[in-house]
Amino acid sequence: MRKVLLCLILLSFVCKVSFSQEESNRNGNKSFFASIGVGVSMPNGSFGSVSGTDNSHGAANNGFCIYGSYGYTSNNLLGLKVAISINSYSADQLIDTTFMNIGLPPDVHLITDVGRWTNINMLVGPTLNYGIGRSQISMSLLGGLTVANRPSVGHNFFTNNNLIWIYYISSGKGMSFCVRPEINYIYSINKRFGLLFNISYSYSNPTLEYKAEYPLLSSGWKYKDLETRQKITAIDIGLSLLIKMK
């Protein structure tokens, strides 16, 4: 409940700042914009590592991101930006796929299904802009919340095409503060539209809670609560369509 309230407070603050600025400066020198785009997201550090003996190694592969923003610049120099991004990554062998590395009887076949990392970032922060002609360089320092979802892992054991046992790791969920510095290059196509080339680095460190589930022959399903602290770091490179609203 506390995490939900934090999200609501952040979103309320973002909306209040954005719309009050737009209303009070409708006839001023502020230029409003919105953008939407896609890009590639490259995990690094322990988030992209498959080595190690604990569950803080994310084993995330290169993925993709969907990115949107809304904000303004004042006299083409200072500004404020609100952004949201969704990052998704496939995963290799997490520490929870240890059954893949043990010797099994020759008549037992294991199929392992690993889900995807999905992280949602809600951010706000100042921008510093400098432009010449059709080109503009923009630097931002954004902060906010990351809602992270760790991949689920399903182990299915078969004998003669018959399922004999299941060991399932549920998707882990957690939330933490996120910081993301950005550098943007903006090229104005005309007075209404532009292209935005973006490179950014994001950092968050949520605690992810999840469960291990497996059946016991004598007493039904067994559930075990697990958690891990996961540093999530990634470099995003993307291209967005910029829409000028003034």
Cα-based distances in Å from 41 to 49, 88, 149, 177: 15, 8, 16, 19
- Count of the separate structural domains present in the chain: 1
DSSP-derived pairing of the beta strands 153-159 and 193-204:
unpaired
- The tally of CA atoms less than 13 A away on the side-chain side of residue 130 is 2
What does the pLDDT look like over 159-195, one tens digit per residue?
Answer: 888 888 888 888 999 999 999 999 999 999 998 999 9
| CATH number for position 66 | 2.40.160.20
**Confidence at residue 63, expressed as pLDDT on a 0 to 100 scale:** 96
User: Taking CA 153 as the corner, what is the angle to CA 147 and CA 158, rounded to the nearest 5 degrees?
Assistant: 165
**Confidence at residue 49, expressed as pLDDT on a 0 to 100 scale:** 81
Question: Do the Cβ atoms of 43 and 236 come closer than 8 Å?
Answer: no
Domain coverage including residue 119: 2-244
Which backbone phi and psi does 52 adopt, to 5 degrees?
105, 165
- Measured CA to CA, the distance from residue 224 to residue 37 in angstroms comes to 40
**Confidence at residue 175, expressed as pLDDT on a 0 to 100 scale:** 95
What does the pLDDT look like over 127-163, one tens digit per residue?
Answer: 999 888 889 999 999 999 999 999 998 888 898 888 8
**Confidence at residue 179, expressed as pLDDT on a 0 to 100 scale:** 97
**Confidence at residue 95, expressed as pLDDT on a 0 to 100 scale:** 66
Question: Which residue type is seen at 215?
Answer: P
- Measured CA to CA, the distance from residue 117 to residue 218 in angstroms comes to 34
Instruction: Please give the sequence-ordered ranges of beta strands (E in DSSP) within 91-192, or none if there are none.
Output: 109-114, 116-132, 135-149, 153-159, 162-169, 173-188
CB atoms within 10 A of CB 85: 25
pLDDT beneath 50, residues of the chain: 1, 3-28
Q: What is the pTM of this model?
A: 0.80
**Confidence at residue 27, expressed as pLDDT on a 0 to 100 scale:** 44
